[in-house]
């Protein structure tokens, strides 16, 4: 590709140089630490051109020389990698119970972190003020100069209107419609702002920095109090025509099932989300089913959470074990549909389900082995995320980083 670029006619010298700079930078970003010799090979550019671009990027501070290759007699080639602390991003995740804000670098590493819980009854205006305060404090406390920040990303536990990027009412915060985080935050902080859905943001985080790295067709399932999905299709996030692709939680699995937050009945989310199984466990405890969960909640059934059910299941508590087993079977049914329909290379399970990974993988795999079509099943790997609850927040910064490398780097090239 690069050889074509080098030979391409019609573009100005500057455009051509910008493209070559981008190519070298992308090669270092994707493959670093990498020897200069290897960069020449992978880009197809001449040694002299690569050398001049490397000097330019090194002088800018965008790449670092981190060593020399072992010599086989010839002159050892220098090794370079991206300077991940050249610029910084701010990532936010807004759920219906808390605001999570981070400062991270170009490699998605979290450098500063802040969590502010809230009660949704305080209203959206107060929560927006909390979000602004949280970002403000994070920037100040980081000690990083303001001009080193390149943008703010917001991952929301809901959908937004793709035309103007204002929020639609959140499933758990129905009064949250019509908020433009983009204009609020970009006006306040004078930085570009990007908005994304949590499951999509988490899928981007996995694709760039986690278990989706190098995987062109992957699905990220966020299994928590909701059931969302981010689809990586041919290496890119697939969002559908109106940005709502991946609503895996709202496929109907039981037409006589419980009412779902979306208004439908028997959605997978209403049966196999952590919220659904907690409701189920509470009902059974109220009916007098014997379980160690009764002791764990300390006489207040409202204390029951998903982690307690997982811990009780590990202790072979019959009720808890049965609940996790059934949840796994139901998720397995949904995953069979995904495997047959989309033929993904890897399915990454993230969110609260990770607490139950050791137990729940057994019923999931039993159903997948039994029901999924053989060819796609053999080619799909099911894994659990190791990014924890940070995936959505880190993922909210990916569009900022992408834009930086696509556009802003060019402004540095003279």
Q: Which chain residues interact with Zn ion by CB under 5 A?
A: 250, 260, 262, 264, 267
Say how far apart CA 183 and CA 411 lie, in whole Å: 24
Q: State in angstroms the smallest separation of the CB of 255 from Zn ion.
A: 12
Nearer to Zn ion, 110 or 253 (CB): 253
* Nearer Cβ to Zn ion (251/359): 251
DSSP sequence for 167-197: BPPPSS-GGGTT--HHHHHHHHHSS-EEEEE
Closer to Zn ion at the Cβ: 64 or 268?
268
Decide: 340 and 219 in contact? Cβ < 8 Å: no
Shortest distance (Å) from residue 267 CB to Zn ion: 3
Give the HSE-up count for residue 185: Cα atoms under 13 Å, Cβ half-sphere.
27
Between 28 and 271, CB nearer to Zn ion: 271
**Cα 134 from Cα 25, distance rounded (Å):** 33
Query: Which of residues 15 and 262 has its CB atom nearest to Zn ion in the complex?
Result: 262
The rounded distance, in Å, linking the Cα atoms of 326 and 35 is 52
Query: How many other β-carbons are positioned within 10 Å of the β-carbon of residue 269?
Result: 27
376: part of which helix (H) or strand (E)? helix 374-378
- Given strand 149-156, what is the order of strands in its sheet? 110-117, 98-105, 88-94, 149-156, 193-197
CA angle, 96 then 97 then 103, to 5°: 95
Contacts of 242 (CB under 8 A, 6+ apart): 162
At closest approach, how far in Å is the CB of 264 from Zn ion? 5
**Cβ pair 198, 222 in contact under 8 A:** yes
Q: Please report how close the Cβ of residue 366 comes to Zn ion at its closest, in angstroms.
A: 25
Q: Which residues are registered as beta bridge partners of 160?
A: 167
- Measure the CA–CA gap between 389 and 391, rounded to whole angstroms: 6
Helix, strand or coil, per DSSP, at residue 380: coil
Q: How far is the CB of 340 from Zn ion (least distance, A)?
A: 21
* Nearest-approach distance from CB 333 to Zn ion, in angstroms: 15
Residue nearer to Zn ion on the CB measure, 206 or 269: 269
- Judged by beta carbon, residue 262 or residue 342, the one nearer Zn ion is 262
Q: What is the smallest separation between the CB atom of 225 and Zn ion, expressed in angstroms?
A: 13
Q: Which is nearer to Zn ion, 254 or 345 (CB)?
A: 254
In angstroms, give the least distance from the CB of 70 to Zn ion: 58
Least Å distance between CB 263 and Zn ion? 7
Nearer to Zn ion, 34 or 227 (CB): 227
Report how far residue 277's alpha carbon sits from residue 327's, in angstroms, rounded to the nearest whole number.
7
């Amino acid at each position: 590709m690069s050889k074509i670029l080098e030979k391409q006619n019609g573009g100005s010298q500057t455009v051509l140089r910008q493209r070559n700079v981008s190519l070298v930078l992308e090669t270092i970003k994707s493959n670093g630490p990498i020897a200069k010799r290897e960069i020449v090979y992978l880009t197809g550019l001449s040694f002299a051109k690569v050398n001049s671009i490397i000097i330019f990027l090194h002088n800018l501070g965008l790449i670092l020389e981190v060593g020399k290759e072992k010599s086989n007699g010839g002159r050892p080639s220098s090794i370079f990698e991206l300077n991940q602390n050249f610029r910084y991003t701010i990532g936010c995740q807004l759920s219906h119970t808390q605001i999570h804000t981070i400062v991270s670098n170009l490699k998605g590493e979290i450098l500063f972190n802040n969590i502010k819980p809230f009660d949704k009854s305080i209203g959206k205006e107060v929560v927006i003020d909390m979000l602004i305060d949280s970002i403000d404090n994070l920037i100040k406390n980081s000690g990083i100069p303001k001009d080193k920040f390149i943008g703010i990303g917001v991952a929301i536990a809901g959908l937004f209107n793709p035309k103007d990027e204002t929020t639609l009412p959140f499933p758990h915060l129905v009064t949250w419609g019509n908020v433009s985080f983009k204009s609020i935050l970009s006006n306040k902080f004078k930085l570009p702002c990007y908005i994304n859905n949590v499951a999509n943001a988490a899928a981007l985080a996995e694709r760039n920095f986690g278990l989706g790295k190098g995987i062109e067709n992957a699905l990220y399932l966020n299994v928590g109090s909701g059931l969302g999905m981010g689809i990586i299709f041919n290496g890119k996030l697939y969002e559908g025509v109106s940005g709502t692709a991946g609503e895996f939680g709202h496929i109907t699995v039981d037409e006589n099932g419980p009412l779902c937050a979306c208004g439908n009945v028997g959605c997978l989310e209403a049966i196999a989300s952590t919220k659904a199984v907690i409701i189920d466990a509470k009902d059974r405890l109220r009916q007098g089913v014997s379980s160690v969960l009764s002791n764990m909640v300390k006489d207040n059934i409202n204390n029951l959470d998903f982690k307690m059910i997982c811990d009780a299941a590990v202790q072979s508590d019959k009720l808890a074990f049965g609940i996790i087993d059934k949840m796994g079977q139901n998720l397995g049914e949904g995953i069979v549909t995904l495997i047959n329909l989309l033929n993904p290379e890897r399915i990454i399970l993230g969110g609260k389900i990770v607490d139950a990974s050791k137990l729940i993988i057994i019923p999931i795999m039993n159903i997948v082995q039994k029901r999924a079509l053989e060819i796609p099943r053999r080619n799909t790997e099911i894994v659990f995320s190791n990014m924890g609850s940070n995936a959505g927040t880190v993922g909210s910064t990916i569009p900022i980083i992408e834009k930086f490398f696509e556009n802003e780097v060019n402004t540095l090239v003279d």
